[in-house]
Amino acid sequence: MILARMTYEEREELKKKYNVDTILSYSKMSTFTEHPWAYRIIYLEKDLKVDTSNVYTIFGTWMHDLIQSYYEGEITKEELPTKYKSIINDWLLFYPEYRFMSENVQNGYLDNLENYFNTFVPIDKKMLIEKTVTTVVNRNGKNYVLVGYVDAMWGDVDEEGKHHIYILDFKTSSKSGFSGKGLLDKSKQLLIYAKAVHEMSGVPVENIHVGYDMMKYVTRYYKLKSGKWSKPSLVERRQLVEKLDKQIRGYLVDLGYENPEINELMSKSVKENTLKYLPKEVQDNIKLENGYIFVDFNQEELDNITEWLVDTADAMVKAEQGDWDKEFPIPDIQEGAPESFFYRQLNQGLLQYHPDHQDEIELEQSINSEMEITDFDELDSLFN
């Protein structure tokens, strides 16, 4: 079924309908499998107040809300760049606690997203935005209910009259892991959504398509000497022209341009990251599309994700009934440890409950205190 975002009363009604104690979510399940101690702090330690937001989560939310505003008719395409800049200004003024790791990381992130909205290419279909999907799985007479929220969804009809449904997730993250064998594993959430939509609509699995709009990237093609198009390549938006330097120079040479003129054109084009200064013949040799990554899957993959959902739900119940110290061990967060980045950069709100972090704070406070005392003693000795 597809609903608007659920109220508390609707969730309670859903639990009553399917005789379950809890409603599952992918984020909760993935936290359990990937970061067990974080799962304990966030979901089980009811007395603890935890803020798991960071600069990436708030930007992801803001960018999604901005896109949603466009598709729901609240703003026009032409207003998107201005609205984006307004968001950045508000962030700089009112959210000092949310900052990137470095200025270089910040500039790259923001420049890529600015290009996305400056060159926004909408999907010209009736869109369902931020809709709830629910799937129910039964194993041995026991129900499991998972609720999720789809970023964007639309339908289409092909030349044979067959119905297709597209599910899209907007991503402001990097493309790392979204390729090859790792793509299916990254896409568990979308496969669960595909399962729910298949059950709700009756559209065959092979006609349901799931993918990502990698907002920081653009898909690039360029004409080869043979006249054929190159294979698609996903490149950062802010580096678009720079990454086409070799190809563009070749096209300009073929058109009879001399090196000084080529260098001048390239310098200006790279600086402003635009193709508009190049001859039309060159522009026609370059094709750009939004940075979509679609995931190939079949019924077997949906069956596998169903098994994962039930197995994980059972494991969650078992762990919660067991010894929490054993089931949810305290992770190593020392610099270089596998969990270090997750906690130190992405979830600093959890650190206050980590004993190693508390030891670090006490040690730092002790050192600072000793330094203050030493400095005072040294100054005081001048008068003795």
Query: In this predicted model, what pLDDT tens digit does every residue of 357-370 receive, in sequence order?
Result: 876 666 566 566 55
CA pair distance 167, 35, nearest whole angstrom:
27
What does DSSP say about strands 286-295 and 2-3: parallel, antiparallel, or unpaired? unpaired
Average pLDDT score over the chain:
92
Is the pLDDT confidence value at 384 over 70?
no
CA pair distance 30, 152, nearest whole angstrom:
21
The secondary structure of residue 256, as a DSSP letter, is T
Q: What is the pTM of this model?
A: 0.89
Is the alpha carbon torsion for 254, 256, 257, 259 positive or negative?
Answer: positive
CA dihedral 258, 260, 262, 267 (to 10 degrees): 180
Q: Which amino acid is at 131?
A: K
What does DSSP say about strands 163-171 and 208-222: parallel, antiparallel, or unpaired? parallel
Digit-coded pLDDT (tens) for 20-38: 999 999 999 999 999 999 9
Residue whose C-alpha is closest to residue 168's, from 182, 189, 185: 189
CA pair distance 204, 195, nearest whole angstrom:
10
Looking up tokens 């022209």 gives 241
Is the pLDDT confidence value at 371 over 60?
no
User: How high is the pLDDT of residue 364?
Assistant: 62
Strand partners, 41: none
CA pair distance 366, 308, nearest whole angstrom:
48
Digit-coded pLDDT (tens) for 82-132: 999 999 999 999 999 999 999 999 999 999 999 999 999 999 999 999 989
The secondary structure of residue 229, as a DSSP letter, is B
CA pair distance 236, 214, nearest whole angstrom:
10
CA pair distance 12, 29, nearest whole angstrom:
20
8 Å CB contact between 125 and 3? no
**Structure tokens of 206?**
């092979």
CA pair distance 27, 29, nearest whole angstrom:
5
User: How high is the pLDDT of residue 356?
Assistant: 84
Digit-coded pLDDT (tens) for 291-337: 999 999 999 999 999 999 999 999 999 999 999 999 999 999 998 99
User: How high is the pLDDT of residue 372?
Assistant: 57
User: How high is the pLDDT of residue 378?
Assistant: 57
Is the pLDDT confidence value at 76 over 60?
yes
Break the chain into its structural domains and give their ranges.
2-213+293-318, 224-284
CA pair distance 341, 370, nearest whole angstrom:
30
Digit-coded pLDDT (tens) for 258-295: 999 999 999 999 999 999 999 999 999 999 999 999 99
What burial class does residue 353 get, using C-beta atoms within 10 Å of its C-beta: 0-12 exposed, 13-18 middle, 19+ buried? middle
8 Å CB contact between 156 and 201? no
Q: What are phi and psi of 345, to 5 degrees?
A: -110, -40
Is the pLDDT confidence value at 210 over 90?
yes
The secondary structure of residue 342, as a DSSP letter, is I
Tell me which H or E stretch contains 356: helix 355-380
The secondary structure of residue 98, as a DSSP letter, is -
Task: Answer whether CATH 3.90.320 is correct for domain 2-213+293-318.
Answer: yes
Q: How confident is residue 2, by pLDDT bands cut at 50, 70 and 90?
A: very low
8 Å CB contact between 360 and 68? no
291: left (phi over 0), alpha (psi -120 to 50) or beta: beta
CA pair distance 340, 362, nearest whole angstrom:
19
